[in-house]
């Protein structure tokens, strides 16, 4: 698959502005995907600038690895690709002797590639094993969760991560269906859930149910929490944190961190009433322009926030 088909980057110009890139700075892109954002960061860096790009998905690393090989530019050696979950950000920076960074970009969630390759099991557009792991080398698949979790656990996943009011009905439908035969494919799951979803909202709610499972399979909330706290520590004064979120829970975490310095959003004050906040919020959250929306529907739910290390 060519990089251009892999994923069209969202809010590209806005995220570069948010990072306020210095030519000799050290930057991290924790969500490489098709490399659209990373390549744009590279194009702003001079000979002394460095970029570390993470992805836990081998497909993303392989795609960008061959692209980097073809760069024919000595700066390519300043671009390091790291195949890892971004929750290990601090360990990797220590490994590369990086004490502080000038900016970090996170463009959360999955890429178009994940939906386009049916065998990855993220989509109900075609039938495939119910997998949904971004890192295919380990961990539980969506099938493990669908066939192994209790009705209560499934209900809370659908309600919390899918924002589906009918979470209980979906969960009990799964539990009933799997008594007869295990639910092992994407279309099998879609068939079990569809009768409990209003016809007018069929695709939207089914997409939300699949999204909820994906978030659980990949432990996305825990990884985001750990990465955001590590990023806050690593940024040097004036360094920028730019996050594009597509889900209200993710966005709330980012907003809390930028406003209060912690994930819970609790503002801490010293005995004199001075608030303690390691980051300063820069501007208002940014959403996609009409122009971008018409060319890239994925940008519809994107919300970009910028924080600057105090």
Give the binding site for ligand SAM (CB under 6 A).
Answer: 7, 9, 31, 33-37, 54-57, 60, 85-87, 107, 109-111, 134, 223
Measure the CA–CA gap between 50 and 37, rounded to whole angstroms.
Answer: 14
The least CB distance from residue 197 to ligand SAM, in Å, is 26
| Closer CB to ligand SAM, 122 or 196, in the complex | 122
Q: For residues 187, 192, 196 and 197, what is the CA-based torsion angle, rounded to 10 degrees?
A: -10
The full length of the chain comes to 310
| Closer CB to ligand SAM, 9 or 239, in the complex | 9
The least CB distance from residue 168 to ligand SAM, in Å, is 28
Q: What is the DSSP letter of 149?
A: S
| Closer CB to ligand SAM, 89 or 174, in the complex | 89
The least CB distance from residue 303 to ligand SAM, in Å, is 13
| Closer CB to ligand SAM, 183 or 212, in the complex | 212
SS3 annotation, 196-221: HCCHHHHHHHHHHHHHHHHHHHCCHH
The least CB distance from residue 129 to ligand SAM, in Å, is 18
E-state strands within the chain: 26-29, 50-55, 79-83, 101-107, 235-245, 268-269, 275-276, 279-281, 303-309
The least CB distance from residue 83 to ligand SAM, in Å, is 9
| Closer CB to ligand SAM, 58 or 175, in the complex | 58
């Amino acid at each position: 698959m060519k990089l251009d088909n892999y994923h069209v980057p969202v809010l590209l110009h806005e995220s570069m502005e948010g990072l306020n890139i210095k030519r000799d700075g050290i930057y991290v892109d924790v969500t490489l995907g098709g490399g659209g954002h990373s390549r744009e960061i590279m194009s702003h860096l001079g000979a002394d600038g460095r970029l570390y790009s993470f992805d836990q998905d081998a497909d993303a690393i392989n795609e960008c690895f061959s692209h980097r090989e073809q760069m024919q530019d000595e700066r390519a050696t300043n671009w390091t690709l790291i195949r890892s979950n971004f929750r290990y950000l601090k360990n990797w920076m220590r490994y590369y002797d990086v004490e502080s960074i000038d900016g970090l970009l996170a463009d959360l969630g999955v890429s178009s590639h994940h939906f386009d390759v049916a065998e990855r099991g993220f989509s109900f557009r075609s039938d495939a094993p119910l997998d949904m792991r971004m890192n295919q080398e380990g961990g539980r698949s969506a099938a493990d969760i669908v066939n192994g979790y209790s009705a209560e656990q499934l209900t809370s996943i659908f309600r919390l991560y899918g924002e589906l009011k009918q979470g209980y009905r979906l969960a009990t439908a799964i539990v009933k269906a799997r008594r007869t035969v295990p639910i092992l494919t994407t279309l099998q799951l879609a068939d079990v859930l569809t009768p409990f979803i209003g016809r007018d909202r069929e695709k939207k709610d089914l997409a939300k149910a699949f999204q909820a499972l994906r978030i659980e399979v990949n432990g996305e909330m825990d990884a985001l929490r750990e990465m955001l706290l590590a990023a806050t520590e690593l940024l040097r004064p004036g360094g920028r944190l730019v996050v594009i979120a597509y889900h209200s829970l993710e966005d709330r975490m980012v907003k809390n961190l930028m406003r209060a310095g912690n994930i819970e959003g609790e503002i801490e004050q010293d005995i004199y009433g001075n608030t303690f906040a390691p980051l300063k919020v820069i501007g208002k959250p940014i959403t996609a322009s009409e122009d971008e929306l018409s060319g890239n529907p994925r940008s519809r739910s994107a919300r970009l926030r910028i924080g600057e290390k105090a």
